[in-house]
Amino acid sequence: MIATNTIPNNGDGGLKAVTDTSDVVKVVVTHPGTTSAILIINKDDERWRDCGKIFTLKFAENETIYHVMTGANGMRSTTIDLLYSGLWKLYDGEHFTEVEFTITPVDAVEILNYYTVLFSLVELGSAKGSTISATYGGNEIPNDTIVLGGKTLVITANGQGADSYTYGWSVNGTDSATTSNSISIADLLSKIDAICTITGITGSDNANIVKITVDGEDANRSGNNFSITAECGRNFVTVFVEVEDPNAAVEIGGVVQNPRLISLPFYSQNSIGIKVTAQNGDVANYTLMIEKLIPFEKITVVRWGNTIAVLNNPAYNGGFRFFEFQWFRNDDVTPFSTDQWWSADKIHGGPLDTTNMYHVVLRTSGDCCGSLVPVTIRSCRSRINLITSIVAVSPNPIHSGEPIYVEVDVDDELLNNTVIEVYSATGARITQLKPQERITPINLNLPAGVYVIVITDHQEFRREMKAIVR
């Protein structure tokens, strides 16, 4: 738009009368023009065509300069003089929307997204008279309110009429993981339809355990964890849980039964879950660890009368493979006690003492006893039953060319690890062979003289016997 002003001039700088137009100077001023501000209004992600709100743009530098936006069907617009370029604030009635238009020669477009907030409650159980409320951006709002998106919505329910309550939430038809009495949605960007289900519970909330007994013996306690060692040889035990509130429900190993007979499938630790549910529905979880001991005779063997050995062949010991050993005598750690075998010869010589009580603690190589990692297995305490191991040669003496028979009457595992060696009187080894069953024939076919026959496992046992050839 061009504005033209005509100023009379008398030639010497003075003004002439307006009626004198003999000499006129024309001053031309160019107006910057106008631009449009356009507002699009959505509600619940659709154009809000029946929006009855009044929107006003106010010049940020001087809010007395303003334009009321006009239009319909979810759109408003106004024309702004570019003399007032810069920031303009958008008001919804008297409320500043925190949206600003930047006025330039290019039309300015902004979008407002409004959302409906619905909230309600459902009462179950003994709940009665419960309430639900909401705040948006820190201000309380009633149900079925349309709000401008982008702020935090908090909906809070308060149960009434019972001793305690549980809360469950559904938002827009989807169950929420929230179990508290309030739900918060930051930066609201959609319509909200929230339903809180309040279940009132009347009754005690006591889910405490006094003690747990196993076959009548009190288990040790540390917080919610209990532990005990079952009597040796037990594959089943009776577990009883004593609770503070006799009306609380007790679940032992997944079954609501108290007391309950429990199987112990693993040598080592057996874990049993205990759950106590109070009258009001509160739940407390506990763990009972029951150690099952392995019979001493199942994994050990007495050899030569002076040595105890751990059977470490899975074919003979029930499928175990051990890699750590600790021997105990009368519950004390024994000297030289971390090998697979323990020999009385190292302590006092002679046979094992049958008056002592022995046990052994072992570590498995993994993939055992319900565990994929190594576990500790303890044996029962036991006395030693001495078994006579026969090692003999016959006949003796013999004639050259005649066979001599070596008898090695020991258990199968030891027999497999034993060798027979024949030495001359000077110590030279003449032959070495494996035993054949219990009695092994050897044809010496040697010159007359004295020879030494050695039976050994090259570990803990060595027996030497003289053989005479005539």
Q: How confident is the model at residue 412 (pLDDT cuts 50, 70, 90)?
A: low
Amino acid at 188: L
CB burial of 408-419 (b: ≥16 within 10 Å; e: otherwise) equals bebeebbbeebe
How far apart, in whole angstroms, are the C-alpha atoms of residue 278 and residue 247? 7
Measuring CA to CA, which residue among 80, 86, 79, 83 is closest to residue 30?
83
Six token digits for residue 31: 């107006």
Domains of the chain with CATH codes: 34-106 (2.60.40.1120), 115-201 (2.60.40), 209-292 (2.60.40), 296-378 (no CATH), 390-469 (2.60.40.1930)
**Average pLDDT value for residue range 397-425:** 80
Whether residue 313 has pLDDT greater than 90: no
Summarize the confidence of residues 420-448 as an average pLDDT: 84
The pLDDT confidence band at residue 3, using thresholds 50, 70 and 90, is: very low
Element (H, E) at 315: helix 314-317
- Which of 463, 446, 441 shows the shortest CA–CA distance to 454? 463
Residue 372 parent element (H or E): none
Alpha carbon separation from 293 to 1, 337, 349 (Å, rounded)? 103, 19, 30
pLDDT above 70 (res 346):
no
Range in 43-52, 287-296, 419-428 the model is least confident about: 419-428
pTM of the model: 0.47
Omega before residue 259 within 30° of 0, cis: yes
CA distances from 310 to 139, 212, 233, 238, 357 (A): 76, 35, 19, 31, 16
